[in-house]
Amino acid sequence: MKFAVLVFPGSNCDVDMYHAIKDELGEEVEFVWHDATDLSGFDAILIPGGFSYGDYLRCGAMASQSNVMKAVKEAAEEGKPILGVCNGFQILTEAGLLPGALLRNKNLKFICRTVPLKVENNQTMFTNQYDQGQIIHIPIAHGEGNYYCDEETLKKLKENNQIVFTYAGENPNGSLENIAGIVNERGNVLGMMPHPERAVDALLGSADGLALFKSIVKQWRETHV
């Protein structure tokens, strides 16, 4: 399976993502610069965290207009798995690939620590290697991770089982309904604020994030091999 790790000016978690795929997962991966226009040679697209374009205007707003995002939308329409982490989640909402928006943290401070997450839906291509309701420990590092959407959107998210991860216990950033990660209606685009790529080895403090990437590979192999 071949992964693309997108790189924008200001990305700073791209190397972490590359390491998770190449060294921990053992799959093929390449960096792809933001001005690329063709992602057809990749099976999955990863949009890493960081501060794309310095977080000017709104976090992810400028990156959402990059050339590569047209190709990301095409990949999403084809059903390929798209994962956006932290700034990647912000980019996905700004690009209209996921509903809602990420606002400033409720305490108006940057938060960087490991938090417990609850797996709310283990029936997705990103979570099939977790147990339903499992508590996992994944790091967060963001200043604008407060997920918000209107009541109608929230109702749809619940009805379609699109809420994949929630913060277990303390809500670190004020996110609506403790939401930490959601998928689109089709289930092939996941946005989440916590960093699974920073939790792929016990030496990092947790290996709970590795199952997310293993889930993607398992789903792909079941349908392509």
Active site members:
86, 195, 197
| Residue found under tokens 């960087």 | 112
CB 101 within 8 A of CB 92: no
Structure tokens at 59: 């976090």
What is the rounded distance in angstroms from the CA atom of residue 103 to the CA atom of residue 42? 31
SS3 letters across 7-37 = ECCCECCHHHHHHHHHHHHCCEEEEEECCCC
Cα-to-chain-centroid distance, residue 113? 17
Cα-to-chain-centroid distance, residue 130? 16
CB 209 within 8 A of CB 198: yes
Q: Quick one: 66 exposed, middle or buried, by C-beta within 10 A (0-12, 13-18, 19+)?
A: buried
CB 3 within 8 A of CB 41: no
Count of C-beta atoms within a 10 Å radius of residue 106: 14
CB 173 within 8 A of CB 142: yes
